[in-house]
Each structure stands twice: as C-alpha cells, then as structure tokens.
Amino acid sequence: MKAPAGSPKRTGHRHNLPIASSYLDQTSFDEFECDILQIARLFFKAFDHPESFTWVNAFYFAELKFHAPYGATIANAVLMSINAMRIVRGSGFNYLDSNCQTCKKYITAEERYFIGTLHNIRLKNRSAVKMNAMLLCQGSADISFTEAMGRLAVITGDYEGNALKNFRSK
C-alpha cells in the first residue's frame, strides 16, 4: 500500500533500541506472559503498519501456542487490552519486532508496563497493577485497560473472576 501524500516515509526495521529497554530474560515474566507479549507485538505492528496485516499473524501465533478455541479468544482479549490502552494513551508506543531474533531478547518500557499489568493481576498485586497501568496510560483513567487485562487473565484461568472488581479505582 502506498503512503498517503504528506505522510512521513516509513523506514525499514532497525536495531535502535528505545531508551529504557532491557533484556526480556531479566524480567520475572513467565512463558505465558512472553507469549502474550509476542501476540501484542504483532498487533502493535499491525496498528503501526496496517499494510503488513500482522494481525493475521497474531491470531495464527495465538492458535499455535494456545490451540483452538483458546488461541483466537486469547488473541482477541489481547487486542481488546491494546485498544483500551490506545484510547487513553496520549502519545506513541515503543515496541520491538516480534519477528526479529535480536529484538525478541529485549523489552521496551512500554511493553514492560503492558505485560507487567497482566503479570501483577495474575499475582493479585493490586498496587503494582495500578502502577503499571498508570505508567502505561500516562496518568489517564486506566480502568478500562485494567479491566481488559483482567478479562485476559480470566480467560486463561489464572485469575479469579470475582477479583476483577478489586482492581477498579475507588
């Protein structure tokens, strides 16, 4: 697809890691959360480069990792979380390419806040959930994002259904 006139020219993939990137293996995220990150990265790329159709790859990857019917349901829950974040977040989002073997070793600050929210929901750590969501949403109302991530945790069976209301802002 050709870029509209007046829009910035997109460049190819480069290994310029954003400030505050860190090694993914130095986080406390488990394999499930790292798989969710890879699905999210495909959706991030789909929003950034719609012509890439990587949303198809996100659903395919989820089906491979989590098997039918759970894969598509989980991918949809990730997409709903991303959309909830996009509604309230005021600026761009740094992400790394899920198809690049070098980039897969790292995680940006924004990705860390995104997965950190899910990680802490699974641990039932309310204050860390709120902190990660607030940082990711840049201080904006994060209730919709937190609830969407809570639904993702419910779908995967890692979160008690009635605990979701405990993460709402009071």
Residue for token pair 């039918």 = 68
User: Using H for helix, E for strand and C for coil, what is the string for 85-106?
Assistant: HHHHCCCCCCCCCCCCCCHHHE
pLDDT for res 169:
47
Please report, for the chain, the start and end positions of each structural domain, with discontinuous segments joined by +.
22-160
Nearest residue to 166 (alpha-carbon basis) of 130, 141, 133: 130
Beta bridge partners of 22: 107
The answer to whether 42 and 57 have CB atoms below 8 angstroms apart is yes
pLDDT for res 36:
96
pLDDT for res 140:
82
Low-confidence ranges of the chain (pLDDT < 70): 1-19, 158-170
pLDDT for res 160:
36
**Dihedral sign of CA atoms 28, 21, 113, 54 in order:** negative
pLDDT for res 9:
42
Strands (E), 10-154: 22-23, 106-107
Nearest residue to 63 (alpha-carbon basis) of 53, 54, 78, 73: 73
pLDDT for res 29:
96
pLDDT for res 126:
95
pLDDT for res 15:
64
pTM of structure:
0.82
The answer to whether 142 and 136 have CB atoms below 8 angstroms apart is yes
